[in-house]
Every structure is written in structure tokens, then in C-alpha cells.
Amino acid sequence: MGGLRKFSVMALAAAFLVSLAGSAISAEKVIRWGVAAPLQKEAGIGSKNATIMAAREINAKGGILGHKVEVFFADDEARPEAGIQAVKKLIFQDKVDFISGGWLSGVGLAQADHIFNAKKLWLSVGPATPKLAQMVKSNYDRAKYFFRVGCVNSDYFAYDMAVFAEEFYKKKLGLTKIALMAESSVWAREMATYLKTAFNKKGMQIVYMDVFDPKRTDFSPQFAKIRRSGAQVLFTVQAASPGVPLTKQWAETQLPVHQAGYSLSSQVFNFWDKTGGKCYTEVTQLINGGRAPLSPGTIPFYDNYVKEFDQCPPYTAFGSYDALYLLKYVAEQIKSLDTDKLIKALEKVDYQGVAGRIRFTKDHEEVYGEEGKLPVWIQWQGARKMEVIFPFKYATGKYITPPWIKKK
């Protein structure tokens, strides 16, 4: 009996010491949050700004589970080789606990193996290729660390593009002839392949299609063919391309087509200045966020971001902000920062982010649609005037036809 008492006292003392040691570690521990992104480009600048905002707000309110968040950045230069070096820097030099950021799919695909080897939770906000989620599907134990937080995958935003084309151009404006131009990056080609069938299924006809080098600056041959094809709407898919040459030539040559699509550079305020206002009436898809009431936090976040950075947030900014808050949300739910436990919690999460509702499929994709993320479509109607035109329930302005088309 005496032995048992002695053992109990010792066990209690040991437990007390362990808890003391634990709390000492806990007080010192800092959550190291790494962001690999193209820090010289809109997407990367957006990620950096929004991460700083989120970390500052979270730290001001006591951090995550009492731990301060420290952020680290690495420039992936929008190149696969630099992207690998960037994640290696974050993993081995900065010793981060979690990885976020990203932009181009080619870079994300190159980084994947390195992040999986390090077993780091990867809340990816940029790359849109479905191939990353397919890795989770085909080899869950290795790739389970990947979650796509900042946007739905390119299949979904291609689907959304087809929905928009049908609802807006076909049903509302009676336009059915489409010209499709996609840059030659991985995700854009995937989207173009998908769109070819999707537009046809929706009763629209692709009368011209081209894949172009993102460095291309002269679109005269393509536009001549579009003019002859009888196309009514030009859909572009471009992220690595600067967007400026295409838009300027569209306006300056008065190409007789409406212009819409996905163009990363046209998602931020400075596109108006970059094009000298030639983007007037151009329509672009915002795959994550936008100044629409997608959630109670959307418009306040948007306005705060504009106030602080004098620029509107690109989709990666919404994603990066949500990624850090999402980690806080699940970590505080399960009261742990253990990676495997966090993965399990994320798989079941239903969180209201600033860009809308975040839920994941079993392959760690974000859920698309009314029950998840819904892209919005904006039209350029003036300097800093990006009016939401679709989905109709979020519309903030009426559609304007390009002036040279109206004249006819």
C-alpha cells in the first residue's frame, strides 16, 4: 500500500513537472507560417499583404492557442526551379510549421514533392490545377498535407465560366459565338480543353481558338482571325501574361467582340492605369473574393485592404488571409497544432471565410457553388470602378457594351 502511495505521489509529481515543462514550451513556441509566392507580381504581393494583415490581427488578439504567429516569405519568382528553392528555404532555413501561398500551377506541381517529404501542412492559395488534388486521391498518405484554400480548381472555374457565358451572354444578351484564347501555362491549357466541350454543351459555338505564349505582345493575327470568324465574345484565360498588350490592342483596334474571361492582372485597380483606361468594359472572373457580400467579412476585408495598401485584393490575398484564419479556427477547435489532427479537422471543417464558405471535398479541393465557393464576375467601368455583374444576386452595376460595338 505504501509502495502504491509512493508511486502515486511520484506519478503526480512527474505529471506536474511535465505540465510545467509543457507550459514553458507553450509560452515560448511561435507558430512559423511560411509563404512561398511570386513576391514581385500581383498574386504574390497580394499574398504577402494579406498574410501580414491576418498575422497582425491574430497576434493582437492573443495568437493561435496562445502562440504568436511569425511569418516568413520566400520568392518563387513564378518559376518552378525558384519555387523549389523557395519552399526549401522555408522548410530548412526558416523551419516553418506550415506553408501557404503559391500562384502558378507549374510551380505548385514542382513544389509538391518537397512539401510532402517534409510533411508540412500546405494551405495552397494559388495553383488551380486539379492535378494537386488528384495526388491526394491517388496517394492519400503522402499527399494529404495539401489543401486548396484560395480558390476552387481550374475545372470549376472553367465550369463557372461556361455558366456565366450561358446565363449572361447567351440568355441575357443573345450572344452565342465564342472566340477562346488561352495562354500556354498548365492550368490555362487544361481550362481551354474543358471549355471547348463545356461551351458546346451550353449551346454556344467556339468559332476560334488559340493558345498563346504568355510573353506574346502582338495579337494582330489572332484578332484578324477573330474578326473574320464572326465571334461575338472573346474569352481569354491568362495569368502569367501581363494582360496589357491584349487588352490595349482589343480596344485600340476596336475588335468587334465583348471581352471576358480570366485575367489575373485585370483583377486589381492598377490595371486601369496600366492600360491607360483601355480596359473599359472588359469583364473578368474573380475566382476568390471580390467586393460582393459573399460572406459577412468580404466587404470589410476588401475595404480594409484597399485602405491599407491603396490597391484592391487579388484572389490570392483573400486566400492567404483565409488560410491563416482557417488554421486558427481548426487549431482552436481541436486545441492542437498537431499536423495529422489538423488534417482530420480540416477535412470536416465548415468555415465562413472572407471570400465565402470553406469546405473541402475528400480530395482536399474547395467545394464549388452555393454550398461552397462561388466566383464573381466584374466589369471595368472606370478607374477603380469594378462593378460586379454576375451572379445576378450580387450585381452592383449594369453591364456596359464596348462603345465601338454599340456604335454599329
Interface contacts to another protein, rule CB under 8 A: 40-42, 184, 210-213, 215-225, 227-228, 242, 244-245, 248-249, 252-255, 265, 270, 273-276
Q: Looking at 165-314, list the stretches that DSSP marks H as alpha helix, in order from N- to C-terminal side.
A: 186-201, 220-229, 244-252, 270-274, 298-309
Closest distance of CB 136 from another protein, Å: 31
Residue 400 half-sphere exposure, CB side, CA atoms within 13 Å? 18
Contacts with 35 (C-beta within 8 Å, 6 or more apart), sequence order: 47, 48, 51, 71, 72, 73, 74, 90, 99, 100, 101, 320
**Segments of 249-331 assigned E as strands:** 258-263, 283-286
Q: Locate cell 491517388: which residue?
A: 138
- Secondary structure of residue 374 in the 3-state scheme: coil
The residue among 225 and 385 lying less far from another protein, judged by its C-beta, is 225
What is the residue type of 296? Answer: P
The residue among 392 and 404 lying less far from another protein, judged by its C-beta, is 404
Closest distance of CB 249 from another protein, Å: 6
Closest distance of CB 63 from another protein, Å: 32
Q: How far apart are CA 32 and CA 302, in angstroms?
A: 26
Cβ–Cβ under 8 Å, residues 122 and 143: no
Closest distance of CB 222 from another protein, Å: 6
Q: How far apart are CA 374 and CA 33, in angstroms?
A: 27
Rg (CA), the chain: 23
User: Which of these, 41, 43, 33, lies nearest to 313 by C-alpha position?
Assistant: 43
Closest distance of CB 156 from another protein, Å: 25
Closest distance of CB 304 from another protein, Å: 22
The residue among 273 and 370 lying less far from another protein, judged by its C-beta, is 273
Q: In the structure grid, which three cell numbers stand for residue 175, read together?
A: 450572344
The residue among 192 and 326 lying less far from another protein, judged by its C-beta, is 192
The residue among 215 and 362 lying less far from another protein, judged by its C-beta, is 215
The residue among 153 and 275 lying less far from another protein, judged by its C-beta, is 275
